[in-house]
Structure 1
Amino acid sequence: PILQHGGSVIYGSADDIVDYIEATFRDPPLLLEGSAGMDRTCPAVASLCLLQHRSILFHVEKVVKISEELAATKVNSSTISPVKAGLAMKIKKLSSEYLRLVELMQEHAQMEERTMFPVLENADKGLTELVHADHARDLPIMNGIREDLKSVLALQQGSCVHNEALVALATRLKVFQVLLGDHFDEEERDILPLLETVGFGSKQQDAAIESCVIIMEAAHGRLLPYLLQGMPAHEMYQYLRIVQKPFQDP
């Protein structure tokens, strides 16, 4: 690639071009750095995981906001039909958003458990006990919220039970948001930095990224626009750069 900037012409690999851009235009950075002990030297699989965390939290915030708007919208038997129709559409939107989020999160957890955690467990079996426990805790919560959504869709709009169900759903989603944020903070603080310590070589990283793409089939297929939607442009760029690298010709 060739980049011309003012009177300068930069030749080299894509990495050389990115390094020049990073050094010349520092805000915002193209490459992820400075988060919970992560920097540009961390293994690519750790950066990929961190970027997925950010996207997931973006979408969790989105569904929480929709649920809170629904909980604040009170309808009863005298509410006019267009308002009820709008409420029904928003509930269906919440359900659709949540189902996509759950699918992404389940693939993300599988990716961690099948690519990153075994590497750490080879070094010390106790390293991943807490995050495994968090994964086991979160699945029933996610399934419970999904059942709550089914109930909300089935209940009669305007009834007291329906209004109470919307409030309860918003509360459960908010609690889950807090738990998930704590879980991701724990992984980013205590788990991801260890991948560099245990010696993830470049060949291992490429193999791990390739496995991540294969395991997260939906996330890197039909859900890829959804995944990338949760990232600012410079993080989208980095994410795509990471997942494409193992599949490029040497």
Structure 2
Amino acid sequence: MERRTFGGDADGAEDLVFVLGWGNKLFHENVRWLVDELVDAGYRVHAFRIPTTIRDFRSEYVEPVAEFVRDLDGYRLLSHSTGGLIAAHLDGATRRVYLSPFWGFPEGPEEPLYDLLAKLPVSAELLPAGTADREALGDLATDRQLETGADAAAPTWIRECLDAQANLPPIDDDAVVFCSLRDRVVSTRAIGERVPADRVVLYDGGHELFSSSSRERHLPTLLAALEEGAAAVRER
């Protein structure tokens, strides 16, 4: 797992841990847009790029981040997609904001395949995920982002994510979720089952808020949610 720290030169900068989604890269222009906005807001941003193939969710996804945050004197937690599944298994954050969290596989004709594929002890990426698609991710997704992201999942990754979703801890009462009802990468139903509507911010776009042209409109709310928690969206 790759980690890079951005900003934090100013005295008193607060630590913000940002766990990226499956296939996100730190050199993707839209990821960097959000990181730069967070730095401009005064945060020291610790961004984690996650591997796209794993055999053990806890040791390969949760523990590298958990080990890092144990040494922080308080931190705020931002996550996207699979990063949101990882973040739900972390402790100690003073604020939690989830962007399109992967708390369930998308509903559709492929749904019965997930349990079947999860039984295969294979770490090769076999199942097309439909994420190399500008419409699915967001209208600002770049060609480089589409070419260098991930678009096929391994059976072992599916198995581990299904297990992590089945054992998802309760979502913090102060957590805020941003998602699009047009998302076809993760299950919006799974989000609605875990977080009440007054803590969900809907945006117009694809799976990635930071790759959707509505991002500028929602950035102040995102920053407020990181600062104030659920009160920031309940008062809108």
* TM-score, normalized by the shorter chain, greater than 0.5: no
The one of the two structures with greater contact order (alpha-carbon pairs below 8 A, sep at least 6) is 1
- TM-score (norm: length of structure 2): 0.26
- Structure ID, larger Rg: 1
- TM-score (norm: length of structure 1): 0.25
Structure that is richer in helix per residue: 1
